[in-house]
Each structure stands twice: as structure tokens, then as C-alpha cells.
A and B are shown apart, each in its own frame.
Chain A
């Protein structure tokens, strides 16, 4: 019974569609609507019979479903496929001259036909597709079928209407409105959203990718869904504790990157639009500053990445997997918006690594810098390279100076002097740094003790004889030395900063000094002096009354004793570091206003006359290797430059700017 019923209904359907197809006069709206209604009723009955066992007078439908929605679709699909196959055979037989004419007619008829068919099946579309989607069907023929006709039509158009590109666009829009009316479109998008958010179902997405790929409107929706999904998932996978550990943080977000990149690759066979969507979602996530809920600390990606590099370059990595780490750094670096802020942090940390000789490997340093250079150009890394070069040159310079000193004193016969001298000379090393690459703040002047001043003056004479016109500034805050204690029974060696040395050497002259006297003799500014004195008191090498005031008397601890013979008193003072960080960000952001204005002027000077929008585009292009400039910021600086009479708006067209020389 049901079998018969089914074929009866399907036959009836074929008959009806045929009827529509073969209508001589498509404009005969009476005939069309008659068949249309019949077809509509038929599908309506089939489906309602299926669900409600609803009986009508025209066709008795049993409770068991005779024809399912799917059957109707498969039927329609086959029918249309046959039809179109025939059409393309026909086309092959038609001479070139007539092809356009034939195609035009055919296209027109089909357009008409699809409209009718779509109307007839609209009931089914609404009900059945909704139903199927609700019950979680794997793939819906609808999309498949639709996509097939799209491709068919588009290919036809491409083959036969190569000159008329404009028609093609119109055709696509038309096809979209015919086959994807808003309600159906929304249903499909809803379904896609489910598939995207459930990562186990990405296999299904992969199946759907092929058809959707051809439907621009749907594809755009899917692209948006992917972008949001990647962003959401990535944000969710960041936990609070990660933020305090740059090593874990960077590696976690790189893992997230890898995971989704693979997923996109597999699901969408590396389609460039989907890759771009993924990139966009990921970049948005990565550049959002993570905030620790427990500590309230906000960190920028720029700072975390710089810290990550610093940690690796100080401690090295296990199993020599530097290349892998390098890869990780560059993945994140590529997504980083504020590359200028990053550079500020990186430079500061490199400075510390180089001066305190904390770097684990010169080649690591150099390979990383060359990666940055590859990505952002020569200018971006020029300061870093100069810094590394300064350190290398300084090694040579120190050696040269030692030889020079030996040559001078070699002639002198006094053996005692010579011994003393040799030790001193071998102990001396110097680092000469180019001031604008290192950005040191100049220390305030102090009075150098005679022991130290001789060495410094000798070196200055030597250096300036090689490089005339340069100026040497001693950076006391980074200099250090070694002192030997002779007043105790055990001989101790002390590693000290310049400031500590200055103070301790005073005790060669007197055993007791007041703080005021020390300041008078050294000229160290009082805030710093107190800090250093407190450090020395803590080491128990000096003794003073508590609390420490300007009048306090300080004396040497004559009974000083320690387990170790070498003592490092030159410990960094920690608390200053935190303050510095926010300062670096503001410094970078402040620099941007100059950078943007310079770029604007540079471009306009070259172009003389340029559209406002193109100017903005070119500025963004030039600056993205440094940071992502805000359009409103660029606009603001354009206005400032108009006000400063560097640029002028065209008097007839506000969108055009002229450069005023």
C-alpha cells in the first residue's frame, strides 16, 4: 500500500513539474498558478499526512508516511539534474552564434521556473528543513542542491557570457534571493552555529564546506561564526594563574593557535577566507590584555612576549629546541599589534642582559633579532643591532687598551710598580655604548676617588685619541669594581658598585665619617646615598647609630667577619622596576604621535595630492609593522597638519588633500 502510494505521489509530482516546464507561455499566469497550487497542495498534504495523519478530500494519506520530505527533495533534485543534463547536451549542439540567444531564453525560463518551484515547495522547505534540523540531521540536501544549481548557472554564465561580468553578479544575487529566502537562510545559519560551537561536529562542517563554499552569503555568515568561535574559545582557555607566568602564558596561547589552525586546515581545506577569519578572531583574542582577577594586574601582550623572550635568552632552553621556541615567539609576534611597545620592553631587557652578561647565547640573541628584522625591516631592529655591536667592539677595545697601557709602561723598570700595574690593567675592562641606541639616563655628577680617576682619565685619553670628537660619559649606575679588605685577618674580596666603592674608599683616609661628610666628599645625591648606606650597613661592613640621619656617624666594622671570602654587595634594588613598566608603554604611545605625523608628511610630500581615504590607507600600511594605528588618531593628526598648514583641503572636494611645500 504505502509503496504504491509513494510512487503515485511522485509520479504526480513529476507530472506537475513537467507541466510547469512545458507551459508554452510562461506569462500565462492563470495556468502557472493553477499548477503551482496543485503542486503546493500536494507537498502540503504529503507532509501534513506525515505528521498529523490529516486527511483531505483530494488525496487520502495513510498514517504511515508515504512520502517523506526527503523523498520529495531527492525527487526534485533528480528531476532537475536530468533536465539540466539535457540542457547542457543541447547547448553543445548549438552553433556559437545562437548560443547566447539560446542561453538567454533558457536562463529566463529557468529563472521563472525556479521561482514557481520555490513557491510550491516553500511549505515543505519551512516545515521539513526545520524538522530535519531539529532532529539533528547530518547534512541537508537543500544546501547541496541549491549549491549545485548555483555552480551550474554560474559556470554557464562564465562560459557563455565572459564579457558581461555585471550580469554574473546580478545572477548570483538573484539566485541567492530565489533559493535562500530569509527564513531558510536563518535556519541554516542557526544550524551552522551549532556545528561550529560543537567541536566534535566539525566533521559535519567539513562535509558542508564544499557546498557552502559556493554560496557567498552563507559563507560570509560562516566566516563570522568561525571568527567569534575562535575568539570565544581562546578567551575561555586562559586561566588566572597563567598571567603571572609569561612562559606558560605564551606557550598556552601558541597551543591554542596550533589547535585551531589545524582545525581550520582540516575542516576547510585551508581555504584562505577561513584562514583569514581565524586569524582575525585569534588576533583579537591575543591582543586583548589579560587581567588577573585575583591580583587585578593587567599585562599587555607586548610585555608578556618580551618577558618570554627574556626568560629564554637568560635561562636557555632544554634539549636545544631553540628553533622551536623561536617559532613560538614569531607566531605570537606576527599577531602582536603593538610592536612598538614590545620593542621598548625588549630593548630594556636586552640592555640588562648585555650589561650584566646574563645572555645564555650570542647566537640566540642574534637569530631572534634577525627574525624581527625580517618581519619589520631594518629600522625596527637597528638599535638592537647597534647594542650587540657595541658589546663586541668593547671587548676588542678593552684588549687594545690593555696592550696600549703595557706598551707605555713596558719601558719602565720599576718592578713593584709593574706588578701592581699588570694586575690593575688586566682587571680593567670597559664597555663603550652609543648613547642613542641604549637610552641611558645620565647620572648626576659625583666626585671620583683618585684611585679610580687615574684609570678613567688614562682610558679617556686613549679613546679620544682614536675617536676624536666623541664624548665619554661615565654611567656610574652600571659600573662596578672589586675591592680587597686588608684590615681584617682574613682577606675578603668585595664586588661593589661605583657608589659603594666611593664610600668604602673614604675609609682609607678616616675611620669615622658622618653622613653629611660622606655626601660632601662624594656628591652622591642624598636619597641615593641613604639607600646605598643602608645596604652597606646591612652587610655589616659599616656600623652606624640607628636611625640614620645626616649627622649619624659611620665607622668601619673592624671585626668584620664572613663565611665567604668573596662577597657580592652589588645587589640590584628591586622596587624601582615595576614603576618603569607603565612608563615604557606611555613612552611608546607618545612616540606614535610623531611617527604618525611623520608618516603623513612623508606620504603627502611624495604624492602632493591624495584622497583622504588613500592617505589613511597608506599610513596604516606603513605603520602596521610597528603598531596598528587608530583611524580616528590618524584623522586627528591630519587635521592638526591642516591647521599647521602642511596640508590643505581641496576647496571643491573635502576628500582631497594637497601638500603645501
Chain B
């Protein structure tokens, strides 16, 4: 409803000719939406896959995640009409020009929305009423999130490796929202101070305790083998 109320406000203060063009825009956006929606209200997996195809984007690409964020999609692989309109409006797309949509997505500057984008990603990744992201999904989303627009943490590979390999069989099946939310603070802390400065008595989530311990062990092994 955000987009429609916005346009109403604008239309009332505009001349009739431009009000014609606003309704024209809405109409064209709606036509576009209808093309991929089964019931004029919701674009489901099927429609999104077709949209991706028409945009020449892989469904699991960074740009698709970004587009869903711009739409503030609440559910993975599903867009409501309002979400879709919001997305197009934010990107400034007035018609059904796919190459423009692609360009806008590729050039979109996400940096000022980093926090919101990051926290949104967790909830976006929850499927079928899950309360926690599965570790597998979290790993994929972390990888995708830091792929292009946001500066990639130096420890990201170590962190994801640690989760994937699960050498000590201690990685939980799910990543809690708390752990996800604190991760950026954690990675910045480590980058600034190193693993040695980490204090597991502090308020960090337990999963980081195990990770840092593992990294310190690795470092030690490296040092002793190089000596």
C-alpha cells in the first residue's frame, strides 16, 4: 500500500497530464507483475524463476537477493504485488525495460543500507515458519551477502570453513538470530584486534568461542610446524 498511497498524494498535486502518466506507470508495473503472477496478488517461485530468466539472472545470484531486499520481501522466492511495486519504485523503474532493471540492480549502492540488508537477510532465509536459519542456509546466505556490494570480512572464509567442516562435531544444526546479528561486530573486532584478544568471558555467542579457539589452535600448529 506504500506505493499506491504515495502515488495518490503526488497525483493530487500534479497536473492532469502528468497524473495520466502516473497512472500509466502504475498500469505498466501492474502489467509486468501480472505477467509473472498466477493470481494478480502473489508472484511465487515459478513466476520469480521466469522473471530471473527474462532478466538473464541466475535465481541464486547476488542481484536476485538484492532485488528481493529492495522489495523488502518477507518470504524467500515469493513477492507480493506491493513488495514488487516498492522494489520497482525504489529502483526508479517505470516500465518493463529489463535491461534498465538489470543496470539499476548492478549499480545499486547498498552500503548505506548495510545493517538493514544484513538483518533482513536472516529473516528472508527462514522457510516454512522456521524460527532459526539452518546452518546450511546461513552459510549460503553469508556467502551471497558478502559477494559484491558489502565489504567482505577477512575472516569470512575461515568462519564458513569452520562451520562447513565441523571438525569437532560441535556445530549446531541452526544459526540463531542472535549469532547472525552479532557476527558483523565480531568480524570487525577480530580484524581490528586479532584472535588473541578475544575473551570468551565476554558477551559473544558461544559459537564464536569455539571458532576462535579453533583458529588459535590452527595458528599455533602453523607456528610450531614452521619453526
- Asked if B151 CB lies within 8 Å of chain A CBs, one says no
Contacts of B203 in A (CB 8 A): 612-613, 635, 649, 654-655, 657
Report the bound CA distance from A173 to B185 in whole Å: 35
- Is the pair B206, A654 in contact by a Cβ cutoff of 8 Å? no
Majority DSSP secondary structure for residues of A touching B: helix
Contacts of B209 in A (CB 8 A): 632, 635
- Is the pair B201, A613 in contact by a Cβ cutoff of 8 Å? yes
Nearest A residue to B210 via CB reads A632
- Is the pair B201, A643 in contact by a Cβ cutoff of 8 Å? no
Contacts of A643 in B (CB 8 A): 131-132, 176-178
Report the bound CA distance from A491 to B120 in whole Å: 88
Report the bound CA distance from A498 to B86 in whole Å: 79
Nearest B residue to A612 via CB reads B203
- Is the pair A635, B176 in contact by a Cβ cutoff of 8 Å? no
Contacts of A613 in B (CB 8 A): 201-203
Chain B: minimal CB distance from A603 (Å): 15
- Asked if B181 CB lies within 8 Å of chain A CBs, one says yes
Report the bound CA distance from A613 to B179 in whole Å: 18
Nearest B residue to A616 via CB reads B201
- Is the pair A649, B178 in contact by a Cβ cutoff of 8 Å? yes
- Is the pair A654, B182 in contact by a Cβ cutoff of 8 Å? yes
Given contacts A613-B201, A654-B185, contact A639 B206 (CB under 8 A): yes
Contacts of B181 in A (CB 8 A): 649
**Tally of contact residues, A, Cβ under 8 A:** 14
Report the bound CA distance from A639 to B205 in whole Å: 7
Choose among B132, B176, B185, B200 the residue that contacts A632 (Cβ–Cβ < 8 A).
B200
Report the bound CA distance from A632 to B209 in whole Å: 9
**Which residues of A in the span 252-286 have a Cβ within 8 Å of any Cβ on B?**
none
- Asked if A422 CB lies within 8 Å of chain B CBs, one says no
Choose among A616, A631, A632, A639 the residue that contacts B178 (Cβ–Cβ < 8 A).
A639
Choose among A631, A642, A655 the residue that contacts B176 (Cβ–Cβ < 8 A).
A642
**Which residues of B in the span 177-195 have a Cβ within 8 Å of any Cβ on A?**
177-179, 181-182, 185
Report the bound CA distance from A616 to B209 in whole Å: 16
Nearest A residue to B179 via CB reads A639
Chain B: minimal CB distance from A128 (Å): 36
- Asked if A636 CB lies within 8 Å of chain B CBs, one says yes
**Which residues of B in the span 159-188 have a Cβ within 8 Å of any Cβ on A?**
176-179, 181-182, 185
The contact string, 1 if C-beta is below 8 Å from chain B, for chain A 635-650, is 1100100110000010
Report the bound CA distance from A318 to B206 in whole Å: 53
Chain A: minimal CB distance from B51 (Å): 34
Nearest B residue to A643 via CB reads B176
- Is the pair B206, A635 in contact by a Cβ cutoff of 8 Å? yes
Report the bound CA distance from A649 to B204 in whole Å: 11
Give the most central of B181, B185, B205: most A CB within 10 Å: B205
Choose among B179, B182, B185, B201 the residue that contacts A631 (Cβ–Cβ < 8 A).
B201
Give the most central of A613, A632, A654, A655: most B CB within 10 Å: A654
Report the bound CA distance from A212 to B179 in whole Å: 48
Interface residues of B (CB under 8 A from A): 131-132, 176-179, 181-182, 185, 200-206, 209
7 tightest A-B CB contacts, nearest first: A612-B203, A655-B203, A642-B178, A643-B176, A636-B206, A635-B206, A654-B203
19 new A-B contacts, CB < 8 A, other than A639-B176, A654-B182, A654-B185, are: A612-B202, A612-B203, A632-B206, A632-B209, A635-B200, A635-B206, A636-B206, A639-B178, A639-B179, A639-B205, A639-B206, A643-B132, A643-B176, A643-B178, A649-B178, A649-B181, A654-B203, A655-B203, A657-B203
